[in-house]
Amino acid sequence: MSLWRNQLHGPTDPAKDAGWEDPPPRKGFFTDTSICIGCKACEVACKEWNQLPMDHLGMTGDSYDNTSALGASTWRHVAFVEQDAERVEQARESGRLLAEEGPAGGPATGPRTPVALGLPSLRPGLHRITEQDVSRAPATGLPLTGPGTHVDIGPEATDLEAAEMAARQAAVDGTLPDFRWLIASDVCKHCTHAGCLDVCPTGALFRTEFGTVVVQADVCNGCGYCVPACPFGVIERRDRPTDANGERLKTAVKNEGVAQKCTLCYDRLEIGAKPACAQACPTTSIQFGDLSEMRQRAEERVEALHTKGFTEARVYGGDELDGVGGTGSVFLLLDEPEVYGLPPDPRVTTADLPDIFRKAGFAAGSMLVGAAIAFLGARS
């Protein structure tokens, strides 16, 4: 059983486990939700590149989210949450605790002590972390000077510093709405231990040399087992889409009845290109690269935000000691995962599989013994 255990959970290199000899470094996403502006460019780029059919039309009334959820024809989903200050305080507190004590079950990172700031900017750490030099970016839409703002920006100040001061002043004046957005682009986690892949009976789901998880549409038989096996609710069997009136379309769509999800643009990766969503993201909220680097960037960015007092920031996924052996998609969140519709402590179901089989074995054994007794004890 120890052989089983090593394969079913815990830290590992999934590409090597899958039999790839000398695979390239594992690839992954880092989605930094703190700089997501909700433009949905990732959703559109993904649909375009992967030629995903329309899934449903209509308004949900759930803030700006009319996409609803990841699914067979939605491989990037931008979530929108509108929050007030009370909730921000709670998020700040829970994030601070998380930083002090470390992820439960994982190593503690220790309290983050505020340090003297270097280059002032509204988005600390951006210079180090993203590929764009934001300091020379055009001024944002916030009014920096003029009627209604009492901001005196010195000659040395950057636009971003001025914007931050304007925001602070507005808070003092009471002209700043008691409101913040949470905007996050969700995607398949490309788990180290992927429930979807483990349970697939046909081998349609496989592990690529990049450590990602991909469905082969021509092998999938549509059994749908992967759908309830994913702890994140990502993969889905593609049904015939409905039109705006909820009527099923007359014509079949591509890969109908087959399970579908993000491939981390396997075709683009093979020619050395970035996934379509990362390519399209205008703010570098979606970053792509070697997974180890993605994890490091996430840690650094959270640390930078904490030193600025934004203790609501936290890393989600990527922790080798979590229930799925670490995700291939790492996120920076600004509140508890469930607020974004993510599971707070995901666990791959097959981690328990040896024990599940053992219990079933006892039951099967009891059935045999019981039947034998039933025959031996019968008088007629």
Partner 1 sequence: MTVPYEPPATEPAPTPRREGRRKRRRQRDDVMVPTMEFESYYGRNIVKPAPWKAEIPAYLFLGGLAAGTGLLASGGEMTGRAELQRNARLVSLAALSGSTAVLVKDLGKPSRFLNMMRTVKLTSPMSIGTWILTGFGGFTGIAAATEVAKMVLPRPAKAELAFILPAATRVSSWGAGAFAAPLAAYTAVLLSDTATPTWHEAYRQLPFVFVGSALAASGGAAMITTSVDECGPARNVAVGGAVVDLVADAIMERHLGMLAEPMHEGRAGAYLRAAKVLTVAGAALTLIGGRRRPVAALAGAALLAGSACTRFGIFEAGIASAKDPRYTVEPQKARLAARREQQRQEAS
Q: Does 336 bind partner 1 (CB under 8 A)?
A: yes
Beta carbon of residue 276, minimum distance to partner 1 (angstroms, whole number): 24
Of the residues 15, 45, 98, 191, which one makes contact with ligand SF4 according to CB under 6 A: 191
Between CA 213 and CA 206 the distance in angstroms is: 6
Whole-angstrom Cα distance, residue 94 to residue 89?
9
Considering the rule CB under 8 A, would residue 75 count as an interface residue with partner 1? no
Minimum distance from CB of 373 to partner 1 (Å)?
7
Upper half-sphere CA count for residue 378 (Cβ side, 13 Å): 7
The interface mask with ligand SF4, positions 229-258, x = CB under 6 A, is -x-x-xx-x---------------------
Strand pairing partners for 32? 332
Q: What is the DSSP string of 67-133?
A: S-S-BTTBSEEEEEEEE-HHHHHHHHHHHHHHHHH-STTS-----------SS--SSTTHHHHSSS-
Indicate the residue among 15 and 304 with the shorter CB distance to partner 1: 15
Shortest reach from residue 334's CB to ligand SF4, in Å: 21
Binding-site size, partner 1 (CB under 8 A): 92
List beta partners, residue 315: 332
CA distance 151 to 168: 10
| Distances in whole angstroms, Cα of residue 329 to Cα of each of 61, 235, 293 | 28, 15, 12
Asked if 328 and 190 count as a contact pair (C-beta separation under 8 A), the reply is yes
Q: How far is the CB of 29 from partner 1 (least distance, A)?
A: 19
Should residue 165 be labelled a site residue for ligand SF4 when binding is judged by CB under 6 A? no
Q: Which of 28, 71, 124, 195 binds ligand SF4 (CB under 6 A)?
A: 195
CA distance 139 to 162: 10
Partner touching 190 among ligand SF4, partner 1, none, CB below 5 to 8 Å by kind: ligand SF4
Binding to partner 1, residues 219-258 (CB under 8 A): 219-225, 227-237, 239, 257
Among partner 1, ligand SF4, none, the one that 152 touches (CB under a kind-dependent 5 to 8 A) is none
Please, what is the minimum distance in Å from the beta carbon of residue 48 to partner 1? 25
Interface positions with ligand SF4 (CB under 6 A) = 188-191, 194-196, 200, 202, 204-205, 213, 215, 220-226, 230, 232, 234-235, 237, 259, 261
